[in-house]
Amino acid sequence: MGKAATALLFFAAFALLVPPAAAQPARIADGANRQVVVPAKVERVYAAGPPASMLVFAIAPDKLIGWTRAFRPNEAAFVAPKYGALPELGRLTGRGNTANVEVLLAARTDLVVDAGSVAETYVSLADRVQQQTGIPYLLLDGRLDAVPGSLRLLGKALGDEKRGDLLADYFESSLKDIRARIARIPQAERPRVYYGRGPAGMQTGLAGSINVEVLEYLGARNVAAESKGGLAQVSLEQVLAWNPEVILTSDPNFYATVWKDARWQNVAAVRAKRVHLSPHLPFGWFDFPPGANRLLGMHWAGKLLYPKAFPEDLRPRVVEFHRHFYHQEPTAAQLEALLGEPGVLPK
Protein backbone atom coordinates (compact mmCIF):
# COMPACT_ATOMS: atom_id res chain seq x y z
CA MET A 1 0.00 0.00 0.00
CA GLY A 2 1.38 3.35 -0.98
CA LYS A 3 1.83 6.22 1.36
CA ALA A 4 -0.89 8.15 -0.33
CA ALA A 5 -3.39 5.32 0.01
CA THR A 6 -2.58 4.95 3.70
CA ALA A 7 -3.13 8.62 4.25
CA LEU A 8 -6.43 8.46 2.39
CA LEU A 9 -7.59 5.52 4.46
CA PHE A 10 -6.53 7.30 7.59
CA PHE A 11 -8.52 10.35 6.65
CA ALA A 12 -11.52 8.29 5.75
CA ALA A 13 -11.44 6.52 9.09
CA PHE A 14 -11.02 9.80 10.84
CA ALA A 15 -13.92 11.29 8.99
CA LEU A 16 -16.11 8.40 10.10
CA LEU A 17 -15.00 8.74 13.70
CA VAL A 18 -15.66 12.43 13.99
CA PRO A 19 -19.32 13.02 14.89
CA PRO A 20 -21.19 15.37 12.62
CA ALA A 21 -20.44 18.37 14.86
CA ALA A 22 -20.77 20.99 12.19
CA ALA A 23 -24.32 19.84 11.57
CA GLN A 24 -26.44 20.73 8.63
CA PRO A 25 -28.79 23.73 8.76
CA ALA A 26 -32.12 22.56 10.10
CA ARG A 27 -35.46 23.08 8.45
CA ILE A 28 -37.98 24.19 11.06
CA ALA A 29 -41.71 24.83 10.72
CA ASP A 30 -42.36 28.01 12.70
CA GLY A 31 -45.48 29.15 14.58
CA ALA A 32 -47.18 30.16 11.33
CA ASN A 33 -46.14 26.89 9.68
CA ARG A 34 -43.56 28.65 7.51
CA GLN A 35 -40.59 26.48 6.60
CA VAL A 36 -37.52 28.31 7.87
CA VAL A 37 -33.98 27.12 7.31
CA VAL A 38 -32.12 27.86 10.53
CA PRO A 39 -28.31 27.73 10.46
CA ALA A 40 -26.75 25.01 12.55
CA LYS A 41 -24.94 27.49 14.72
CA VAL A 42 -27.05 30.44 15.83
CA GLU A 43 -25.07 32.89 17.93
CA ARG A 44 -26.62 36.30 17.38
CA VAL A 45 -30.38 36.68 17.62
CA TYR A 46 -32.46 39.77 17.03
CA ALA A 47 -35.90 39.72 18.66
CA ALA A 48 -38.45 41.88 16.85
CA GLY A 49 -40.56 42.83 19.87
CA PRO A 50 -40.66 42.47 23.67
CA PRO A 51 -42.58 39.14 23.67
CA ALA A 52 -39.93 37.62 21.42
CA SER A 53 -37.09 39.20 23.43
CA MET A 54 -38.41 37.51 26.53
CA LEU A 55 -38.52 34.06 24.96
CA VAL A 56 -35.04 34.33 23.44
CA PHE A 57 -33.68 35.75 26.69
CA ALA A 58 -35.21 32.91 28.70
CA ILE A 59 -33.62 30.23 26.54
CA ALA A 60 -30.29 31.73 25.51
CA PRO A 61 -29.63 35.13 27.08
CA ASP A 62 -26.13 35.37 25.66
CA LYS A 63 -27.42 35.09 22.12
CA LEU A 64 -29.75 38.07 22.39
CA ILE A 65 -27.98 41.01 20.74
CA GLY A 66 -30.17 43.76 22.16
CA TRP A 67 -33.57 44.79 23.41
CA THR A 68 -36.14 46.54 21.27
CA ARG A 69 -36.13 49.28 23.90
CA ALA A 70 -33.25 49.74 26.33
CA PHE A 71 -34.02 48.82 29.93
CA ARG A 72 -34.68 51.70 32.30
CA PRO A 73 -32.59 51.49 35.49
CA ASN A 74 -35.53 50.19 37.57
CA GLU A 75 -36.15 47.45 35.01
CA ALA A 76 -32.49 46.54 34.52
CA ALA A 77 -32.17 45.72 38.23
CA PHE A 78 -34.11 42.50 37.62
CA VAL A 79 -31.54 40.95 35.26
CA ALA A 80 -27.76 40.52 35.40
CA PRO A 81 -25.92 43.78 34.63
CA LYS A 82 -24.52 42.59 31.31
CA TYR A 83 -28.03 41.84 30.05
CA GLY A 84 -29.50 44.99 31.45
CA ALA A 85 -26.92 46.94 29.49
CA LEU A 86 -27.71 45.38 26.11
CA PRO A 87 -28.28 48.06 23.48
CA GLU A 88 -31.59 49.34 22.16
CA LEU A 89 -32.22 48.13 18.61
CA GLY A 90 -35.81 49.17 17.95
CA ARG A 91 -38.85 47.14 16.98
CA LEU A 92 -39.54 45.50 13.69
CA THR A 93 -42.81 44.64 11.94
CA GLY A 94 -46.18 46.09 12.61
CA ARG A 95 -46.09 46.60 16.34
CA GLY A 96 -44.51 50.01 15.88
CA ASN A 97 -41.70 49.71 13.41
CA THR A 98 -38.64 51.49 14.76
CA ALA A 99 -35.77 49.31 13.59
CA ASN A 100 -33.96 49.73 10.32
CA VAL A 101 -33.47 46.50 8.42
CA GLU A 102 -29.84 47.55 7.99
CA VAL A 103 -29.45 47.27 11.77
CA LEU A 104 -30.02 43.53 11.44
CA LEU A 105 -27.31 43.25 8.83
CA ALA A 106 -24.88 45.51 10.67
CA ALA A 107 -25.35 43.46 13.84
CA ARG A 108 -24.40 40.27 11.95
CA THR A 109 -27.67 38.66 12.95
CA ASP A 110 -28.03 34.89 12.47
CA LEU A 111 -31.71 34.71 13.23
CA VAL A 112 -34.67 37.03 13.65
CA VAL A 113 -37.41 35.97 16.07
CA ASP A 114 -40.83 37.55 16.42
CA ALA A 115 -43.62 36.42 18.71
CA GLY A 116 -47.23 37.53 18.70
CA SER A 117 -49.96 37.35 16.13
CA VAL A 118 -49.38 34.86 13.31
CA ALA A 119 -52.01 36.44 11.09
CA GLU A 120 -51.44 36.95 7.38
CA THR A 121 -49.99 40.45 7.88
CA TYR A 122 -47.18 39.23 10.11
CA VAL A 123 -46.49 36.20 7.94
CA SER A 124 -45.97 38.41 4.91
CA LEU A 125 -43.84 40.88 6.88
CA ALA A 126 -41.67 38.00 8.06
CA ASP A 127 -41.32 36.73 4.51
CA ARG A 128 -40.36 40.16 3.23
CA VAL A 129 -37.68 40.78 5.85
CA GLN A 130 -36.30 37.29 5.32
CA GLN A 131 -36.17 37.79 1.57
CA GLN A 132 -34.64 41.21 1.80
CA THR A 133 -31.92 40.36 4.31
CA GLY A 134 -31.38 36.66 3.73
CA ILE A 135 -31.60 36.21 7.51
CA PRO A 136 -33.94 33.42 8.62
CA TYR A 137 -37.00 34.81 10.38
CA LEU A 138 -38.94 32.72 12.89
CA LEU A 139 -42.49 33.78 13.65
CA LEU A 140 -43.83 32.37 16.91
CA ASP A 141 -47.39 32.21 18.13
CA GLY A 142 -47.70 34.48 21.17
CA ARG A 143 -51.00 33.31 22.65
CA LEU A 144 -50.72 32.02 26.21
CA ASP A 145 -51.63 28.48 25.21
CA ALA A 146 -49.03 28.52 22.45
CA VAL A 147 -46.14 29.71 24.61
CA PRO A 148 -44.90 26.18 25.55
CA GLY A 149 -44.86 25.16 21.89
CA SER A 150 -43.05 28.35 20.96
CA LEU A 151 -40.45 27.71 23.67
CA ARG A 152 -39.77 24.18 22.39
CA LEU A 153 -39.50 25.40 18.84
CA LEU A 154 -37.17 28.21 19.79
CA GLY A 155 -35.03 25.87 21.91
CA LYS A 156 -34.52 23.72 18.85
CA ALA A 157 -33.66 26.71 16.67
CA LEU A 158 -31.21 28.13 19.19
CA GLY A 159 -29.49 24.77 19.64
CA ASP A 160 -30.60 24.29 23.24
CA GLU A 161 -33.52 21.91 23.11
CA LYS A 162 -33.07 20.92 26.73
CA ARG A 163 -33.54 24.45 28.00
CA GLY A 164 -36.47 25.05 25.67
CA ASP A 165 -38.17 21.88 26.90
CA LEU A 166 -37.48 22.68 30.54
CA LEU A 167 -39.09 26.10 30.23
CA ALA A 168 -41.94 24.73 28.15
CA ASP A 169 -42.64 22.05 30.77
CA TYR A 170 -42.62 24.65 33.52
CA PHE A 171 -44.96 26.93 31.61
CA GLU A 172 -47.24 24.09 30.58
CA SER A 173 -47.58 22.66 34.07
CA SER A 174 -48.34 26.13 35.43
CA LEU A 175 -51.07 26.61 32.84
CA LYS A 176 -52.45 23.16 33.58
CA ASP A 177 -52.50 23.85 37.28
CA ILE A 178 -54.32 27.14 36.70
CA ARG A 179 -56.88 25.53 34.38
CA ALA A 180 -57.56 22.74 36.85
CA ARG A 181 -58.26 25.20 39.65
CA ILE A 182 -60.49 27.36 37.44
CA ALA A 183 -62.52 24.39 36.23
CA ARG A 184 -63.77 23.76 39.76
CA ILE A 185 -65.14 27.27 40.23
CA PRO A 186 -68.87 27.55 39.45
CA GLN A 187 -69.93 30.39 37.15
CA ALA A 188 -71.86 32.06 39.96
CA GLU A 189 -68.69 32.47 42.01
CA ARG A 190 -66.81 34.22 39.25
CA PRO A 191 -66.88 37.97 39.81
CA ARG A 192 -67.66 40.38 37.02
CA VAL A 193 -64.43 42.21 36.14
CA TYR A 194 -63.63 45.48 34.41
CA TYR A 195 -60.14 46.02 33.07
CA GLY A 196 -59.44 49.77 32.94
CA ARG A 197 -56.63 51.14 30.79
CA GLY A 198 -55.40 54.64 30.09
CA PRO A 199 -54.92 57.49 32.55
CA ALA A 200 -58.67 57.80 33.18
CA GLY A 201 -59.35 54.06 33.01
CA MET A 202 -61.87 54.57 30.22
CA GLN A 203 -60.35 52.12 27.76
CA THR A 204 -60.90 48.41 28.02
CA GLY A 205 -60.42 45.16 26.14
CA LEU A 206 -63.43 43.57 24.44
CA ALA A 207 -63.98 39.84 23.99
CA GLY A 208 -61.10 38.29 22.07
CA SER A 209 -58.76 41.22 22.68
CA ILE A 210 -55.16 40.28 23.47
CA ASN A 211 -55.37 42.80 26.31
CA VAL A 212 -57.78 40.63 28.27
CA GLU A 213 -56.41 37.23 27.27
CA VAL A 214 -55.44 36.69 30.90
CA LEU A 215 -59.02 37.32 32.01
CA GLU A 216 -60.40 34.99 29.38
CA TYR A 217 -57.88 32.31 30.29
CA LEU A 218 -58.97 32.62 33.89
CA GLY A 219 -62.57 32.17 32.85
CA ALA A 220 -63.42 35.52 34.40
CA ARG A 221 -66.55 37.40 33.45
CA ASN A 222 -65.23 40.45 31.62
CA VAL A 223 -68.06 43.02 31.70
CA ALA A 224 -67.00 44.37 28.31
CA ALA A 225 -67.15 40.95 26.66
CA GLU A 226 -70.62 41.54 25.25
CA SER A 227 -68.95 42.84 22.11
CA LYS A 228 -65.97 41.38 20.30
CA GLY A 229 -62.97 43.36 19.20
CA GLY A 230 -59.75 44.86 20.48
CA LEU A 231 -59.28 47.87 22.70
CA ALA A 232 -62.19 50.26 22.97
CA GLN A 233 -63.16 53.45 24.70
CA VAL A 234 -66.20 53.22 26.96
CA SER A 235 -68.17 55.79 28.93
CA LEU A 236 -68.21 56.05 32.69
CA GLU A 237 -71.97 55.66 32.53
CA GLN A 238 -71.51 52.31 30.87
CA VAL A 239 -69.07 51.21 33.58
CA LEU A 240 -71.59 52.28 36.24
CA ALA A 241 -74.27 50.28 34.44
CA TRP A 242 -71.98 47.24 34.35
CA ASN A 243 -71.18 47.81 38.02
CA PRO A 244 -68.16 45.44 38.06
CA GLU A 245 -67.29 43.59 41.25
CA VAL A 246 -63.57 43.74 40.58
CA ILE A 247 -61.54 46.35 38.68
CA LEU A 248 -58.05 45.58 37.46
CA THR A 249 -55.73 48.14 35.93
CA SER A 250 -52.13 48.60 34.98
CA ASP A 251 -52.27 52.40 35.13
CA PRO A 252 -51.10 53.95 38.43
CA ASN A 253 -52.83 57.23 37.53
CA PHE A 254 -56.18 55.54 37.13
CA TYR A 255 -55.58 53.52 40.29
CA ALA A 256 -55.02 56.74 42.25
CA THR A 257 -58.05 58.52 40.73
CA VAL A 258 -60.52 55.75 41.30
CA TRP A 259 -60.36 56.20 45.09
CA LYS A 260 -60.62 59.98 44.94
CA ASP A 261 -63.17 60.60 42.19
CA ALA A 262 -66.67 60.82 43.68
CA ARG A 263 -68.22 59.27 40.58
CA TRP A 264 -66.51 55.93 41.11
CA GLN A 265 -67.43 55.55 44.78
CA ASN A 266 -70.69 53.66 44.22
CA VAL A 267 -69.17 51.06 41.93
CA ALA A 268 -69.29 47.68 43.64
CA ALA A 269 -65.55 47.07 43.15
CA VAL A 270 -64.61 50.40 44.72
CA ARG A 271 -66.94 49.90 47.65
CA ALA A 272 -65.60 46.41 48.27
CA LYS A 273 -62.03 47.76 47.89
CA ARG A 274 -61.46 45.32 45.06
CA VAL A 275 -59.59 47.61 42.67
CA HIS A 276 -56.08 46.36 41.97
CA LEU A 277 -52.99 47.61 40.18
CA SER A 278 -50.81 45.14 38.32
CA PRO A 279 -47.05 45.10 38.92
CA HIS A 280 -45.04 46.26 35.92
CA LEU A 281 -41.39 45.35 36.49
CA PRO A 282 -39.34 44.39 34.60
CA PHE A 283 -42.26 43.65 32.26
CA GLY A 284 -45.95 44.26 32.95
CA TRP A 285 -47.87 41.36 34.40
CA PHE A 286 -51.27 41.76 32.86
CA ASP A 287 -51.43 42.73 29.21
CA PHE A 288 -48.37 44.51 27.92
CA PRO A 289 -46.13 43.38 26.52
CA PRO A 290 -48.34 40.42 25.58
CA GLY A 291 -45.71 37.76 26.25
CA ALA A 292 -44.77 34.97 28.64
CA ASN A 293 -44.59 37.60 31.40
CA ARG A 294 -48.37 37.28 31.70
CA LEU A 295 -47.98 33.95 33.49
CA LEU A 296 -47.34 35.92 36.67
CA GLY A 297 -50.35 38.07 35.83
CA MET A 298 -52.47 34.92 35.77
CA HIS A 299 -51.36 33.85 39.23
CA TRP A 300 -51.87 37.39 40.46
CA ALA A 301 -55.31 37.94 38.89
CA GLY A 302 -56.34 34.39 39.83
CA LYS A 303 -55.63 35.21 43.47
CA LEU A 304 -57.62 38.45 43.27
CA LEU A 305 -60.61 36.95 41.49
CA TYR A 306 -60.74 33.58 43.23
CA PRO A 307 -58.94 33.90 46.58
CA LYS A 308 -60.09 30.45 47.66
CA ALA A 309 -58.75 28.66 44.61
CA PHE A 310 -55.44 30.55 44.72
CA PRO A 311 -54.67 30.70 48.43
CA GLU A 312 -50.88 30.38 48.20
CA ASP A 313 -48.32 33.11 48.69
CA LEU A 314 -47.30 34.69 45.39
CA ARG A 315 -43.67 35.15 46.43
CA PRO A 316 -42.40 31.66 45.58
CA ARG A 317 -44.23 31.86 42.25
CA VAL A 318 -42.54 35.12 41.38
CA VAL A 319 -39.13 33.79 42.44
CA GLU A 320 -39.61 30.67 40.33
CA PHE A 321 -40.69 32.60 37.26
CA HIS A 322 -37.83 35.06 37.54
CA ARG A 323 -35.33 32.24 37.95
CA HIS A 324 -36.63 30.54 34.81
CA PHE A 325 -37.21 33.49 32.56
CA TYR A 326 -34.88 36.23 33.80
CA HIS A 327 -32.02 34.04 35.15
CA GLN A 328 -31.97 35.88 38.45
CA GLU A 329 -34.13 35.59 41.55
CA PRO A 330 -35.50 38.87 42.82
CA THR A 331 -34.04 40.13 46.08
CA ALA A 332 -36.28 40.44 49.13
CA ALA A 333 -36.44 44.17 48.53
CA GLN A 334 -37.42 43.68 44.91
CA LEU A 335 -40.14 41.22 45.88
CA GLU A 336 -41.43 43.75 48.36
CA ALA A 337 -41.38 46.46 45.70
CA LEU A 338 -43.32 44.24 43.29
CA LEU A 339 -45.96 42.87 45.63
CA GLY A 340 -46.00 45.48 48.37
CA GLU A 341 -46.90 48.41 46.11
CA PRO A 342 -50.27 49.79 47.27
CA GLY A 343 -53.09 48.16 45.37
CA VAL A 344 -51.25 45.13 44.06
CA LEU A 345 -52.70 42.79 46.67
CA PRO A 346 -55.59 43.16 49.09
CA LYS A 347 -54.52 44.42 52.50
What does the binding site for other proteins look like in residue numbers (CB under 8 A)?
Answer: 50, 69, 91, 95-96, 98, 197-200, 202-203, 206, 224, 226-227, 229, 231-238, 240-241, 243, 250, 252-253, 256-257, 261-263, 265-266, 284, 287-290
> Cβ of residue 131: shortest distance to other proteins, in angstroms?
25
Considering the complex, state which of residue 133 and residue 238 has its C-beta at the smaller distance from other proteins: 238
Report which secondary-structure segment, H or E, holds 313. Answer: none
Considering the complex, state which of residue 96 and residue 307 has its C-beta at the smaller distance from other proteins: 96
Considering the complex, state which of residue 222 and residue 306 has its C-beta at the smaller distance from other proteins: 222
Give the separation between CA 318 and CA 169, rounded to whole angstroms: 17
> Cβ of residue 81: shortest distance to other proteins, in angstroms?
24
> Cβ of residue 294: shortest distance to other proteins, in angstroms?
12
Considering the complex, state which of residue 274 and residue 303 has its C-beta at the smaller distance from other proteins: 274
**CB distance 239 to 258 below 8 Å:** no
Considering the complex, state which of residue 199 and residue 316 has its C-beta at the smaller distance from other proteins: 199
> Cβ of residue 130: shortest distance to other proteins, in angstroms?
22
The string of DSSP letters for 91-159 reads: --SSS-----HHHHHHTT-SEEEEEE--SHHHHHHHHHHHHHH---EEEEE-SGGGHHHHHHHHHHHTT
Q: Strand pairing partners for 113?
A: 47, 138
> Cβ of residue 234: shortest distance to other proteins, in angstroms?
5
Residue 87, preceding bond cis, omega within 30 degrees? no
| Residue 229 DSSP one-character state | S
Report which secondary-structure segment, H or E, holds 319. Answer: helix 314-326
